[in-house]
Amino acid sequence: MATVTPDKVLDASGLNCPLPVLKTKKALEELQSGQILEVITTDPGAKADIPAFCSRTGHELIETVEEGGKIIFYLRKK
């Protein structure tokens, strides 16, 4: 279970590449620097895509949790 409290939650369940990353980018634009976004997805490709997005953009991937067929990412906006 995650130990992080998000400032915003994005449920991208049922969406496939590239939508989870695009929606993550848009959701992060709405946050202040240092705030945390929780991204919930069912797209297996997101396991590679979200960390790669963070590496490219400088946002911090705090934690990744897999439970019940969902992949949950916690990102801190740079």
Residues tagged active-site: 17
pLDDT > 90? residue 1: no
Give me the mean pLDDT over the 23-31 stretch. Answer: 98
- Domain assignment present for residue 55? The answer is yes
Residue 32 has phi, psi (to 5 degrees) of -85, 160
pLDDT > 60? residue 45: yes
pLDDT at residue 2 in the model? 60
CA separation for the pair 13, 77 (Å, rounded): 21
Give me the mean pLDDT over the 32-38 stretch. Answer: 98
What residues make up the domain containing 64?
8-76
Token look-up 């963070």 returns: 54
CA separation for the pair 58, 13 (Å, rounded): 24
Listed in order, strand segments (DSSP E) in the chain are: 8-12, 36-41, 60-67, 70-76
pLDDT > 80? residue 74: yes
What is the number of structural domains in the chain?
A: 1
CATH number of the domain at 38, please: 3.30.110.40
